[in-house]
Amino acid sequence: MLLLATLVGCNYAGTRRELSGCINDVFLMRQILVRQFGFEERNVTVLIDNNTHLMTEPPTGANIKRALDRMVQRARGVRRAHLFFHFSGHGTLLRGGPYGRPHDAIMPSDSNLITDVDFRRLVDQVPQTATFTMVSDSCHSGGLIAQEREQIGPTASALNRAGGGGGRRTRFLPYETVLQHLGVANLHQLERHMVATFGDDASALFRHARAPVPVPRPNSAILLSACQLDESADEQDNYGAFTLALSNLLRGPNDVGNHWEVVTLARSMLQQRGHTQQHPCLYCSNDNVGRLFLS
């Protein structure tokens, strides 16, 4: 089976949005993929916003999407493939405007937001012979693949509850902060700014704002999110708290469990460590709930 991975870490060094653990998350997950799951190092793409450790492309929106597209293209014509994407960095939630519902997004190093609509379009291009697993250690990451089936998560969102993590550094980027950072006043201006700045590399959500989200086709996409749509993701010991919990589970003495077990155990571990406002979620088809992680 062909195993491909793209790992992205954004610490945003020198900015008011600076984080401390995202690049550490990337190297931790890289080690786990190679040692525990048999990924070849040459098939693991690393994009970080600090090249001290490794020469990589910067994790801009365009570079991240190109790396993901390359994985999908390589999976075509292969009997079996597993594509893995891990993102550590800020997440945000887009509210208001013509979209009809909130949309969650990740924040690349150049602020070219990648939204849940982009991930929906991506996984709909994954060949039927491949599986796409996504881990997002970012705030508002629940539902980052638009219209993917919720298996573990809230039955209803309380969107006004999002906030900090009790004094911990969190990967929470308020919507208002995103607007201020980009110099726009509302979502309509954000849409125009993104298209004017990034052109065809801007999110499909902004380029086709009034088009309906594509109806998902049957796929093998699996999303493990660090938290619910309305929650923040904490950092702990210079790592993402969720990534750290996952690493403990994946490197533990017991066999790796199925997706339901992994997310349930990660939830329990975070609660025991004091991250009581953070609840990891699972989004996938019914068939993939009981499937072993990265199998």
Residue 196 pLDDT: 92
Answer whether residue 295 is part of any domain: no
Residue 281 β-bridge partners: 225
Angle ∠(150,111,83) on CA atoms, nearest 5: 45
Domain that holds residue 224: 2-289
Residue 216 pLDDT: 60
Number of structural domains found in the chain: 1
Residue 56 pLDDT: 76
- Long-range CB contact pairs, 79-82, < 8 A, 24+: 79/1, 79/129, 80/1, 80/2, 80/129, 80/130, 81/1, 81/2, 81/3, 81/4, 81/127, 81/129, 81/130, 81/131, 82/1, 82/2, 82/3, 82/4, 82/130, 82/131, 82/133, 82/294, 82/295
Mean pLDDT by 10 residues, the chain (295 residues): 97 91 96 95 94 76 97 94 97 74 91 94 93 96 91 59 48 77 83 91 81 62 94 93 94 80 94 93 93 90
Residue 57 pLDDT: 86
Residue 211 pLDDT: 59
Answer whether residue 119 is part of any domain: yes
Answer whether residue 294 is part of any domain: no
End-to-end CA distance of the chain: 10
The per-residue DSSP string of 256-287 comes to P-BHHHHHHHHHHHHHHTT-TT---EEE--HH
Q: Report the predicted TM-score, pTM, of the whole model to 2 decimal places.
A: 0.89
Q: Which residues are catalytic?
A: 90, 139
Residue 53 pLDDT: 59
* Three-state secondary structure call for residue 223: strand
Angle ∠(75,76,81) on CA atoms, nearest 5: 30
CATH number of the domain to which 132 belongs:
3.40.50.12660
Count Cβ neighbours within 10 Å for each residue of 129-167 and write b for 16 or more, e otherwise: ebbbbbbbbbbbbbbbbbebebbbbeeebeeeebeebee
Residue 68 pLDDT: 98
Quick one: DSSP state of residue 156?
A: S
Answer whether residue 98 is part of any domain: yes
Answer whether residue 206 is part of any domain: yes
Helices (H), the chain: 22-37, 61-75, 116-123, 175-182, 187-198, 204-207, 241-250, 259-272, 286-289
Query: What is the distance between the alpha carbons of residues 75 and 291, in angstroms, rounded to a whole number?
Result: 20
**For tokens 């997706």, what's the residue?**
259
